[in-house]
Structure 1
Amino acid sequence: MKTHPVLIAGRWRRARENGHFSPDNPATRSPLDQQYPISDWSDCDEALDAAAAAARELRQLPAKQRARFLERYADKIDAARDEIAALANLETALPAAPRLAEAELPRTTNQLRQAAAAAREGSWAQATIDTQLNIRSQLAPIGPVVVFGPNNFPLAFNGVSGGDFAAAIAAGNPVIAKGHSSHPGTCQRLAELALAALIETGLPAAAVQLIYATARENGLRLVSDPRTGASAFTGSRPAGLALKQAADEAGKPIYLELSSINPVVILPGALAERGADLAREFADSCLMGTGQFCTNPGLLILPAGEAAERFIARATELFNEAPVGTLLGATGESGLAAAIDTLRGAGARQLTDSDGADPNRFCRPNTLLRVSGEVFLQHGFRLQTEAFGNAALLVVSDNSQQTLAILDSLEGNLTGCLYSHSGRDDEADYALLEPALRDRVGRLLNDKMPTGVAVSPAMNHGGPYPASGNAGFTAVGIPASLRRFAKLECYDNVRQHRLPPLLQDQNPGDAWRLVDGSWSQRSIP
């Protein structure tokens, strides 16, 4: 069987490998008839050399050229929509339509185009000018960025097309994409389109490179290498923390999205007012995409009483009645089973049926568990285990003070939600609990499940550890996401013609600049 090539230094070539792998079709549990290499360090080393050279070249090119590349790349992805969706469906079992072709792929190209607009406009760089002292500074490209894409979004978070990729390129950095072993063919096809767009727009061909897999120790070397500017990782906590340790020891920035159970609190008035509707909303959100979203509501807290018991009975029915979705692969299946066992071992009681899984595909039964607030406070660390998939834990709290204690005990999360009465019945409880939840999450929601992550300039897709590695940054939301892949450069008494265009007296476009303490789009007289 032929092994697919890697993209290094602007050309597709045979990998220098120390093994190979074949992805599985999750819908059949069988390997696909394709073989991909596990690159050795020499592949990574060559990619870093090529990226370092590309970084120097990119710095000399105008931002509008990077913008044209991102837009051209988006156009090519749109033109290949059906092909890409079919390939990603084969490798992940995510529905080609509407999930991939009509939702995730347009989101992907929208991100690329938003990043292009930010690169062209320039305000993201936060140019700051002191005319009296002739000191000027801006955010500038940090250097080669290594992007580790996850398994659950083969397009919108892909290392060679997703949000981290778009932000890194828009900020002026080359990208070394580490593809995901669950969808390497999708990564390869996207990289082919990216290379074609690079050539058409005159960017360095090594501005986008792709390897599919490498040994653990080589991944650690990649994020800590002197040639690496920064890295971004979306995936499991153990893998992310190992990369973080290596990067931290080398003084290299790394941006992580690790784990999140996204707590949802239903206040008493909301539960009494519309408990049945909320049970449906909760079940739909939990089981959407087989629960394989980083913002899946994995923990729901509700006040004890008859209304809670009705909610629990209805949610259990809905979980049992819903079709069992397909998981992304064998690792996801085993990881979900292990997480559920951990929750049970910590005192949670399973409410749903234990059968219903199809032995011919990667899946687990829809699983809803229950625990008291008292037990949760006793075993909170284990009961916060992320069950990534179609599973969730209900916590029945004795009163608002116990709910407050539960919230105070939580780790950091991407999102948190409070459901409240449509009138003012829950105002006191909201005022008591909101500050505690606000401290534990990056994005706070009210009366809305957290599953969707809008590509909005105001979005924060990050949060306190372990939701992300740095609570000050977001992986979604342009232009803020670009600033992760930048360093602050200062120019003191440098002559006008030697300054970067954005710091010269003549504003090269419509960028907002902080000139002598005031934001302005005007040129300096």
Structure 2
Amino acid sequence: MSNVEPLLLAGRWQASLSSEGSFRAADPTTGDAIGPAFPVSGAADIEAAVAAGSAVAAELAAAPAERIAAFLDAYADALDADADTLVALANAETALPAPTRLRGNELPRTSGQLRQAAAAVRSYSWTQPVIDTAAGLRSHRAPLSKPVLVFGPNNFPFAFNAIAGSDFASAIAARNPVIAKAHPLHPATSQRMAQLAHTALLAAGLPAAAVQLLYQFDNPLGLKLAGDARLGAIGFTGSRGGGLALKAAADAAGIPFYAELSSVNPVFMLPGILAERGEALAQEFFASCTLGSGQFCTNPGVVVVPHGAEGDAFVAAATAHFAAAAPMVLFSQSGLEHLTQGIATLRAAGAELLAGGVVGEGGFRHAPTLLSVDAGAFIAQPQALQTEAFGPVSLLVRVTDVEAMVQVATAFEGNLTGTLYRAGDGSDDAAWQRIAPVLRARVGRLINSRMPTGVAVSAAQNHGGPFPSTGHPGFTSVGMPAAIHRFAALHSYDAVPDALLPIELRDRNPGNVQRTIDGVTGVSDVGAGS
């Protein structure tokens, strides 16, 4: 298969060892195939990747922190320097806006994440050293000493790419090899990033097989790989169905599985805020729901709106915005099919179509779609009416009063975000305090008076939440150093001599490292006080 692109496998670019065929990317605006052919890997590729990653895991775990940080920084610099090529490739494969989304937002976010990971490596902040001098115990977070498998999603060709995104940066920062499974919708973008990563890795003096890239493999092989006990952990961003299947395989083998699965991100419009600026909120809601053709994991998929004059005016204004909008480009034919199936499920459960609901012509297009349902129907069929329609689609839930909002909030599954819009004059504060505790238990990030789209890369961020938004409510996939903790083990040392301890657990602080010594957090040496 000489016309098929190579894999980054076992430390070098090479042809597939056991290709099961090939595929090409598609231009979402036309549906036409574009770019070169990429291999669909067979069992030999999978085995080679796991074996190579396992073989260098101990070496990478023992690598000096500065080499890891140098790689992350150099890779970030390389991404920024190659912006023209990367943006052109990603735009062709995803149709995402080049100047605003890709160059102006997502690529800087990606390189910024890598630099934040590098800073966490240098400061040892992700290791959380704890020293108990009375008990003779010392602990910290440490490498898994096994490769981490990362599945990249379709909707972020840079910031969540398996070969460059937050999961990748986090796993490498914890000194674990990464086997990156690129998303097949943007293979050329992933390949170019992998080329830059490989060059930076070698320049940093790290083992060449510490970063590997596979483009695609069939579902049975994916399930087998997810259950391979040689893996240390798995990071996954994608559909709930695919994620749960992989999670079951990983669980059976005892492999930690950190997944972002689905979220409808409920938004509550309280009465006072609608009276203050209802028409402006309708525009704000429409803009959020259609940003990136609605293909964000934090898209406002359900909006709870009270009956009454202000609520009706909001609904009318939002409906007008949706009805006037042209069909929007989606990433793929399968994405278009899943979107139409999701809308059909919502309508079968009683949702009324207010605007949109039609497939556009040319490429993969669907009209922005707005639906509505009464609170009683939502509470009666919460599972069906929380079906994620991944695209420019939202469901309005109409309620009679604040108590009905509480009942609707109680019916929600776990979500990444939950939003409460409240009036500036304080008239909604009592309602906010009534609803917020119920919603708080069901979301990872509680938002006040702004739409959920947009995820700041911050140490205080939680891009996670209760199941089924993710597989574990205690972790985030965005924000350093917390995101790194997913791919680390907790190591404790009992009565181990100082010279044999990891550097950040020794009596002498290696350099302004925050440590907790006998309950006091600071940067002192052991025995020197805080």
Letter of the 2:302 counterpart: L
Tell me by how many angstroms 1:117 deviates. Answer: 0.2
Write the deviation string for residues 26-59 of structure 1: whole angstroms up to 9, x where unpaired: 0111111421111112111111111112211012
Structure-2 residue corresponding to 1:486: 488
Write the deviation string for residues 202-241 of structure 1: whole angstroms up to 9, x where unpaired: 0111111000011212212222212100000000000000
Cα distance in 2 for residues equivalent to 1:341 and 1:162:
33
Structure-2 residue corresponding to 1:343: 346
Q: Which runs of 5+ in 2 are unaligned?
A: none
The one of 167, 178, 182 aligned to 1:179: 182
Tell me by how many angstroms 1:322 deviates. Answer: 2.7
Write the deviation string for residues 60-90 of structure 1: whole angstroms up to 9, x where unpaired: 2111110000000001000100100000111
Cα distance in 1 for residues equivalent to 2:422 and 2:182:
42
Equivalent positions of 1:346-385 (< 5 A) are 346-355=349-358, 357-385=359-387
Letter of the 1:13 counterpart: Q
Cα distance in 1 for residues equivalent to 2:437 and 2:155:
31
The one of 296, 313, 320 aligned to 2:323: 320
Structure-2 residue corresponding to 1:408: 410
Tell me by how many angstroms 1:354 deviates. Answer: 4.4
Structure-2 residue corresponding to 1:228: 231
Equivalent positions of 1:243-322 (< 5 A) are 243-322=246-325
Residue 154 (1) aligns with residue 154 (2): no
Structure-1 residue corresponding to 2:6: 5
SS for the counterpart of 1:351 is strand
Structure-1 residue corresponding to 2:104: 102
Tell me by how many angstroms 1:147 deviates. Answer: 0.3
Cα distance in 2 for residues equivalent to 1:141 and 1:254:
16
Structure-2 residue corresponding to 1:212: 215
Cα distance in 2 for residues equivalent to 1:447 and 1:141:
40
Structure-2 residue corresponding to 1:334: 337
Structure-1 residue corresponding to 2:95: 93
Cα distance in 1 for residues equivalent to 2:111 and 2:162:
14
SS for the counterpart of 1:466 is coil
SS for the counterpart of 2:213 is strand
The one of 103, 115, 127 aligned to 1:125: 127
Root-mean-square deviation (CA, aligned residues, Å) is 1.1
The one of 34, 48, 57 aligned to 2:50: 48
Judge conservation of contact 1:121–1:511 (CA < 8 Å) in 2.
yes
The one of 450, 475, 478 aligned to 1:476: 478
Judge conservation of contact 1:349–1:371 (CA < 8 Å) in 2.
yes
Cα distance in 1 for residues equivalent to 2:65 and 2:333:
43
Cα distance in 1 for residues equivalent to 2:135 and 2:263:
47
Cα distance in 1 for residues equivalent to 2:389 and 2:360:
19
Letter of the 1:5 counterpart: P
Equivalent positions of 1:193-204 (< 5 A) are 193-204=196-207
Cα distance in 1 for residues equivalent to 2:50 and 2:495:
34
SS for the counterpart of 2:236 is strand
Tell me by how many angstroms 1:331 deviates. Answer: 1.1
Letter of the 1:498 counterpart: L
Structure-2 residue corresponding to 1:58: 60
SS for the counterpart of 1:394 is strand
Judge conservation of contact 2:325–2:367 (CA < 8 Å) in 1.
no
Equivalent positions of 1:455-466 (< 5 A) are 455-466=457-468
Cα distance in 2 for residues equivalent to 1:417 and 1:289:
20
SS for the counterpart of 1:523 is coil
Does 79-88 or 223-232 show the bigger shift? 223-232
The one of 500, 503, 506 aligned to 1:504: 506
Judge conservation of contact 2:140–2:492 (CA < 8 Å) in 1.
yes
Letter of the 1:117 counterpart: A
Structure-2 residue corresponding to 1:139: 141
Judge conservation of contact 1:370–1:393 (CA < 8 Å) in 2.
yes
Structure-1 residue corresponding to 2:34: 32
Judge conservation of contact 2:299–2:452 (CA < 8 Å) in 1.
yes
Write the deviation string for residues 375-410 of structure 1: whole angstroms up to 9, x where unpaired: 111221100000110110001112211111111011
SS for the counterpart of 1:188 is helix
Cα distance in 2 for residues equivalent to 1:433 and 1:508:
47
SS for the counterpart of 2:464 is coil
Judge conservation of contact 1:149–1:233 (CA < 8 Å) in 2.
yes
Judge conservation of contact 1:6–1:210 (CA < 8 Å) in 2.
yes
Judge conservation of contact 1:512–1:520 (CA < 8 Å) in 2.
yes
Tell me by how many angstroms 1:311 deviates. Answer: 0.8
Write the deviation string for residues 144-194 of structure 1: whole angstroms up to 9, x where unpaired: 110000000000000000000001101111100000010011111000000
Cα distance in 1 for residues equivalent to 2:360 and 2:278:
32
Judge conservation of contact 2:35–2:188 (CA < 8 Å) in 1.
no
Judge conservation of contact 1:290–1:324 (CA < 8 Å) in 2.
no
- The TM-score, its normalising length taken from structure 1, stands at 0.98
Cα distance in 1 for residues equivalent to 2:432 and 2:131:
44
SS for the counterpart of 1:35 is strand
Letter of the 1:378 counterpart: A
The one of 449, 452, 457 aligned to 2:451: 449
Cα distance in 2 for residues equivalent to 1:151 and 1:267:
34
Q: 1:462 to 1:354 in 2, by over 3 A?
A: closer
Letter of the 2:476 counterpart: T
Cα distance in 2 for residues equivalent to 1:304 and 1:133:
62
Tell me by how many angstroms 1:423 deviates. Answer: 0.9
SS for the counterpart of 2:318 is helix
Structure-1 residue corresponding to 2:419: 417
Judge conservation of contact 1:108–1:161 (CA < 8 Å) in 2.
yes
SS for the counterpart of 2:450 is coil
Q: 1:486 to 1:203 in 2, by over 3 A?
A: same
Judge conservation of contact 1:353–1:365 (CA < 8 Å) in 2.
yes
Letter of the 2:283 counterpart: R
Judge conservation of contact 1:459–1:476 (CA < 8 Å) in 2.
yes
Cα distance in 2 for residues equivalent to 1:301 and 1:293:
19
